């Protein structure tokens, strides 16, 4: 009798589904970039996998541009521009430029 009560208890116990772990919330954001404050230009270029182009600024206060060509398709290429602000050789901020593609101008 004890065995059947134990078997019924196991059969009616709730089953917890263990699915794959959910990704962190920040990975779903549109402004997700592998950058961190304090990086130098070489580290930022490596993290973005794009070459940095000097845009302007004085010494120890430079602005660089990284152009990413990842994404898009054969007929509609995608080029994302990301401006990086460096002060004293360290990354202090960045801003994406999502203007219309040059094809549509």
Interior angle at CA 65, CA 60 and CA 66, nearest 5:
125
Higher-pLDDT residue of 19, 34 = 34
Can you tell me the distance from the alpha carbon of 82 to that of 30, in angstroms, rounded to the nearest whole number? Answer: 13
The token pair at 36 is 């961190």
Q: Nearest Cα to 94, choosing from 63, 67, 71, 55? A: 63
Which pLDDT does position 105 carry in this prediction? 45
The token pair at 52 is 């940095």
Q: Which of 25-34, 71-80, 93-102 has the lowest mean pLDDT?
A: 25-34
Which pLDDT does position 17 carry in this prediction? 57
Residue 88 has pLDDT above 90, yes or no: yes
Q: What is the average pLDDT across 64-93?
A: 81
Instruction: Identify the band that residue 104 occupies on the pLDDT scale cut at 50, 70 and 90.
Output: very low
Higher-pLDDT residue of 38, 67 = 38
Predicted TM-score of the model (pTM): 0.59
């Amino acid at each position: 009798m004890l065995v059947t009560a134990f078997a019924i208890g196991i059969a009616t116990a709730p089953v917890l589904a263990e699915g794959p772990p959910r990704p962190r919330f920040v990975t779903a954001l549109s402004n997700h970039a592998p950058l961190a404050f304090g990086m130098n230009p070489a580290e930022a270029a490596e993290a973005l996998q794009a070459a940095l182009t000097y845009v302007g600024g004085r010494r120890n206060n430079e602005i660089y541009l990284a152009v990413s060509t990842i994404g898009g398709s054969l007929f509609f290429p995608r080029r994302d521009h990301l401006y990086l602000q460096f002060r004293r050789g360290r990354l202090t901020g960045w801003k994406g430029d999502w203007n219309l593609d040059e094809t549509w101008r």
